[in-house]
Structure 1
Amino acid sequence: MCSTIVLKHGELGRGLDSTITTWNHDEFGFQKLRRYLPPDMAWVIRYHSLSPLLK
Protein backbone atom coordinates (compact mmCIF):
# COMPACT_ATOMS: atom_id res chain seq x y z
CA MET A 1 0.00 0.00 0.00
CA CYS A 2 1.31 3.44 -0.91
CA SER A 3 0.19 5.68 1.93
CA THR A 4 0.91 9.36 2.32
CA ILE A 5 2.72 9.86 5.62
CA VAL A 6 2.71 13.08 7.65
CA LEU A 7 6.28 14.36 8.12
CA LYS A 8 5.42 17.60 9.92
CA HIS A 9 2.07 18.78 11.23
CA GLY A 10 1.00 22.24 10.18
CA GLU A 11 -0.20 25.06 12.38
CA LEU A 12 -3.36 24.39 14.34
CA GLY A 13 -6.41 25.59 12.46
CA ARG A 14 -4.63 25.91 9.09
CA GLY A 15 -5.84 22.61 7.64
CA LEU A 16 -4.06 19.85 5.77
CA ASP A 17 -2.55 22.22 3.21
CA SER A 18 -0.12 23.46 5.88
CA THR A 19 0.99 19.89 6.70
CA ILE A 20 4.17 18.48 5.14
CA THR A 21 3.69 14.94 3.80
CA THR A 22 5.61 12.43 1.72
CA TRP A 23 5.30 12.83 -2.05
CA ASN A 24 3.57 10.03 -3.94
CA HIS A 25 0.92 9.29 -6.54
CA ASP A 26 -1.66 11.38 -4.65
CA GLU A 27 0.29 14.59 -5.16
CA PHE A 28 1.18 13.65 -8.73
CA GLY A 29 -2.51 13.16 -9.58
CA PHE A 30 -3.44 16.38 -7.79
CA GLN A 31 -0.84 18.41 -9.70
CA LYS A 32 -1.95 16.98 -13.06
CA LEU A 33 -5.73 17.22 -12.52
CA ARG A 34 -6.35 20.22 -10.25
CA ARG A 35 -6.87 22.63 -13.17
CA TYR A 36 -9.68 20.49 -14.53
CA LEU A 37 -11.55 19.58 -11.33
CA PRO A 38 -13.57 21.42 -8.69
CA PRO A 39 -11.42 22.24 -5.62
CA ASP A 40 -13.15 19.68 -3.37
CA MET A 41 -12.55 16.86 -5.88
CA ALA A 42 -8.88 17.86 -6.26
CA TRP A 43 -8.55 17.84 -2.45
CA VAL A 44 -9.88 14.26 -2.30
CA ILE A 45 -7.32 13.15 -4.88
CA ARG A 46 -4.51 14.86 -2.97
CA TYR A 47 -5.32 13.28 0.40
CA HIS A 48 -7.11 10.01 -0.41
CA SER A 49 -4.37 7.81 1.04
CA LEU A 50 -3.23 9.99 3.95
CA SER A 51 -2.13 7.51 6.61
CA PRO A 52 -3.87 9.11 9.66
CA LEU A 53 -7.17 9.22 7.75
CA LEU A 54 -7.03 5.48 6.99
CA LYS A 55 -7.01 4.38 10.63
Structure 2
Amino acid sequence: MLASLDEITTIIDEMPDRLKLLIVLAAFVGLRQGELLELRRSDVDTTSVGSTSLARSTRT
Protein backbone atom coordinates (compact mmCIF):
# COMPACT_ATOMS: atom_id res chain seq x y z
CA MET A 1 0.00 0.00 0.00
CA LEU A 2 1.43 3.34 -1.05
CA ALA A 3 1.13 6.51 0.99
CA SER A 4 -0.77 9.43 -0.50
CA LEU A 5 0.94 12.75 -1.17
CA ASP A 6 -0.86 14.23 1.85
CA GLU A 7 0.38 11.39 4.06
CA ILE A 8 3.95 11.78 2.82
CA THR A 9 3.78 15.54 3.42
CA THR A 10 2.54 14.96 6.97
CA ILE A 11 5.35 12.47 7.64
CA ILE A 12 7.96 14.89 6.31
CA ASP A 13 6.54 17.76 8.39
CA GLU A 14 6.69 15.66 11.57
CA MET A 15 10.24 14.41 11.07
CA PRO A 16 13.24 16.10 12.66
CA ASP A 17 15.10 18.31 10.16
CA ARG A 18 18.01 15.86 9.99
CA LEU A 19 15.71 13.12 8.59
CA LYS A 20 13.55 15.11 6.17
CA LEU A 21 15.78 14.64 3.12
CA LEU A 22 15.94 10.90 3.79
CA ILE A 23 12.13 10.69 3.72
CA VAL A 24 11.92 12.79 0.54
CA LEU A 25 14.47 10.57 -1.20
CA ALA A 26 12.70 7.41 -0.09
CA ALA A 27 9.28 8.66 -1.17
CA PHE A 28 10.04 10.41 -4.44
CA VAL A 29 13.35 9.10 -5.79
CA GLY A 30 12.76 5.42 -5.17
CA LEU A 31 16.03 4.59 -3.48
CA ARG A 32 16.02 1.27 -1.68
CA GLN A 33 16.54 1.00 2.07
CA GLY A 34 20.17 -0.12 1.74
CA GLU A 35 20.95 2.74 -0.65
CA LEU A 36 19.37 5.27 1.70
CA LEU A 37 21.18 3.95 4.76
CA GLU A 38 24.56 4.07 2.98
CA LEU A 39 24.18 7.70 1.87
CA ARG A 40 26.50 10.27 3.39
CA ARG A 41 26.09 14.04 3.27
CA SER A 42 28.98 14.16 0.82
CA ASP A 43 26.93 11.99 -1.59
CA VAL A 44 24.12 14.54 -1.83
CA ASP A 45 24.36 17.85 -3.70
CA THR A 46 21.46 20.20 -2.98
CA THR A 47 23.12 23.38 -4.26
CA SER A 48 21.11 23.46 -7.50
CA VAL A 49 17.68 25.00 -7.13
CA GLY A 50 14.97 22.49 -7.99
CA SER A 51 17.20 19.45 -8.16
CA THR A 52 19.19 17.07 -6.01
CA SER A 53 22.14 15.06 -7.32
CA LEU A 54 23.31 11.83 -5.76
CA ALA A 55 26.77 10.39 -6.18
CA ARG A 56 28.36 7.33 -4.72
CA SER A 57 31.69 5.92 -5.73
CA THR A 58 32.21 2.21 -5.56
CA ARG A 59 34.71 0.80 -3.14
CA THR A 60 36.91 -2.09 -4.08
Larger radius of gyration: 2
Structure showing the higher helix proportion among its residues: 2
- Do the structures match in fold with TM over 0.5? no
Report which structure shows greater RCO (CA 8 Å, sep ≥6): 1
- Structure 2-normalised TM-score? 0.29
